[in-house]
Amino acid sequence: MGSRGDGTTDGMGTLFPRGALFCPGDGVAGGGDDLRAPCVVAMLKPGDRAPNFVAPTDDGHTVALSDYVGKKVVVLYFYPRDETMGCTREACLFRDHWEEIQSRGAELLGISSDPPERHQRFRAHHQLPFPLLSDPKGEIREAFGVAGGLIPPRATFVIDEGGVVRMAYRNQWNVGAHVRRALEALGEPPRDPGRRPDGTPGAPPP
């Protein structure tokens, strides 16, 4: 894997600096991108400030990234479309690790161009415990540098309490890696002093 030291990867394992221009069909944007798509700005990298956004959710509310600043880490994952095979598997993997993500002090948000009504059905069908955000015009994708292509890019960001990107990962096909990378970026959960490191009950405090 090539590396430029910033932790930002695409589906081919190639790393790009923030602000670099590339064409999704030039062999570096992760297989499956549209050869006819225009060049786009490379995705945000660790150390960049995440742009604020406001988006409707599947339950009729709105969510702003600024809601979490100073309060919680955010795991924000972009995916192509509800009820497709890869996106369903990814959502279910995030669902299965949702409590673990929360135990590390983070909030999980999924986002695609699907409308809230479709998100609502998708969320109910697979019992997803986290909100799904709608980005119908791709404006949030563009702000994070993951727009373009016949198949919208699959990317995950971990954003700290200060609104700064701490992890940025793009891989179109290895959906399980998104969950793993997010958990690695979040680190170990705080340990309950009444439990041993392996999670089993320990001796009561004196």
- Span 151-175, pLDDT tens digits: 899 999 999 999 999 999 999 999 9
The answer to whether residue 29 is domain-embedded is: no
**pLDDT(12) > 70:** no
Q: 67-86 pLDDT, tens per residue?
A: 999 999 999 999 999 999 99
Q: How confident is the model at residue 29 (pLDDT cuts 50, 70, 90)?
A: very low
Please tell me the predicted confidence (pLDDT) of residue 38.
41
Per-residue pLDDT tens digits for 110-142: 999 999 999 999 999 999 999 999 999 999 999
pLDDT of 146 over the 70 cut: yes
Active-site annotation holder among 23, 39, 87, 92: 87
Q: Where are the alpha helices (DSSP H) in the chain?
A: 85-96, 98-103, 116-125, 139-144, 175-186
pLDDT of residue 192: 55
By mean pLDDT, which of 23-32, 42-51, 64-73, 95-104 is the weakest?
23-32
Indicate the DSSP class of residue 93: H
Does residue 102 lie within any of the structural domains? yes
**pLDDT tens, position by position, 79-113:** 999 999 999 999 999 999 999 999 999 999 999 99
Could you tell me the CATH number of the domain that includes residue 142? Answer: 3.40.30.10
In whole angstroms, give the CA distance from residue 108 to residue 156: 10
Considering the domain boundaries, does residue 28 fall inside one? Answer: no
Alpha-carbon span 143 to 53, nearest angstrom = 9
Quickly tell me which residue has 């409590």 as its tokens.
99
pLDDT band at 39; cut points 50, 70, 90: very low
In a domain, 14, yes or no: no
Structure tokens at 153: 């890019």
**Per-residue pLDDT for 6 more than 50?**
no
Do the domain assignments include residue 154?
yes
- Clarify whether 87 is annotated catalytic: yes
122 assigned to some structural domain? yes
Is 12 a domain residue?
no
Query: In 3D, which of 94, 87, 89, 79 has the Cα closest to residue 154?
Result: 79
13: left (phi over 0), alpha (psi -120 to 50) or beta: left
From residue 171, alpha-carbon distances to 32, 70, 138 in Å are: 11, 29, 18
Which H helix or E strand runs over 54? Answer: strand 54-56
Within 10 Å of residue 109's Cβ, how many Cβ atoms? 22
Q: Which domain holds residue 158?
A: 43-186
Q: How confident is the model at residue 178 (pLDDT cuts 50, 70, 90)?
A: very high
171 CB-contact burial (10 Å; exposed 0-12 / middle 13-18 / buried 19+): buried
Q: Report residue 21 as tokens.
A: 């221009």
- Give one DSSP letter per residue of 62-76, joined into a string: EEEGGGGTTT-EEEE
Cβ-based neighbour number of residue 76 at 10 Å: 23
Number of structural domains the chain divides into: 1
Of 91 and 6, the one with more pLDDT: 91
For residue 19, is it within any domain? Answer: no
* pLDDT number for residue 188: 77
